[in-house]
Structure 1
């Protein structure tokens, strides 16, 4: 793109587009790139402040130094010194990058909000991705400031898989008092506009499930939880249409809870993968169209299972992973698998019986089945 009036007679057609279209384009970029667009021309200087979607992403500040390879135990002292120097240089560079990212995160929202008259315009989406999981104070501050902008979609990712396993996991709450970590005034914000909530790498307290109700989140439709520890035993929402839980573990056993109950009658899509607690549904889900359930076992936990499957009879597409033939056939009456709406059934890593009893049972009791997929299934 050439600036208007630049040499070569080029035409800046992109800058001639209306603000609403340019804001839509910029919303697809990371906020660091969006801010950098202000250098293109005077026309773009303040354009970024009207973008309705903000994305604070630490991955936009990559560490450009490789991890040094540790020398062998009998390596010369010169090699050892080079390793120490390289490691120190990398550590110093990492600290510098974190400070740059912290400054960026601290200034982005205030500068963006200053472009509109108080109160600041609400956001369509606020996305926050922090890989330095130990920096909880900054993370809480940025979450609180994002909630103050009443986003319709909130995506917050904390750390990667290694950080989640070996570092303290921060807690998440929609109540702003949870994030009182500095001297800034508290924001008494109710998520009345929140339609989509995606969280990864958090500990979810017992009151989190209470925040999902109509009093706090009256229009919430999409909830996705990944790599989260949860302390509640029930998810209830009259507005929720999509629920996904991947790699989540429960701490409910401390209070005697033995299962996670779902009260989501309007659910259309359900995905339960590696949820370390049995999941049951309190009611049928008549609007359910797509469901995916993984039965996971370890030394102390059992997730999935036939209890939740009983409530999936309305599904048109069903994917099951790691179930055995007893769960799919022997332990329930034959009426269990009479799914009148089911068109596609996918069985992945399932045990289908020594004489393929599960397949025969499915073919006899699912009258409208059009597609059956077997992926890495086993017979005893």
Structure 2
């Protein structure tokens, strides 16, 4: 199984400017219509009525089932699609993409793709597909699947999980240090600043699920490691696709003195950025470098906890083509593997001092060396 894709995929996903400080904390998706070179077979409308062409002239036909929030989240799903589109550039593949409207449709699409017999690999994006895939994998033992963010114990499923708590620890550590620093960015008519006299930071989660709590756990532990006197406010909106709820949650935190709010909430996080913009405060993105994917809010995004979902998508496709697909395997991607990373904002990341960046680099290495044990639960 190839493990040399992480840095190349990272560079293509974030742009060269974002890679300069990868050792610690460094600084677009299509419309889902499938490949534009004549190989793509999907219509991306979520109807699932085109189940692939089974084209014998391609090296692999891929079925892609996204997480509930769908494409256009500029975060998790879009990162997964980047891996698919990179594979489409590098290999001779065809693919079909679907965007379920709710979790009840995961089983429907998994079975529809499987029964067609057209797909060499079916990619299931997101932990919420676990229960459906546990059944599909048994019912279709000859079908190859991959899943991101959870483990399905079956011989025909390749599993990829991330150490989100490690990347979030760096974000928490960075946030705490910045909250104790007099950081002012912008002009008189658009100035935002921290208030070191209060030292409060926030975390906004989407659905309250074990996976998202690992983000919270790492973030809170990172804050504590920097300084136990920094206050953390955490809350969940219950959705990965509700910007209004994200905005209200973040506004409440800013009203309570937070300088910086980190979100792990998919499309809901746009509301966090809106609130930071409204209140003259800062925010931190997730999954993708959101200073690039949400350019309208680049002026409020200090950093993002990038989670390279594109890497397992690309790798599983490559393994399928090369005949090295490993069903039953579990691949963990953390800081050491560059599966997660702290990425400074493209527009304002340079305003963070070199001393703080060096401290973040040191903590990153301590985690890799096993000197810091990062919790998985808050």
User: TM-score scaled to structure 1, two decimals?
Assistant: 0.24
Relative contact order higher in (CA < 8 Å, ≥ 6 apart)? 2
- Greater radius of gyration (CA): 1
User: TM-score scaled to structure 2, two decimals?
Assistant: 0.25
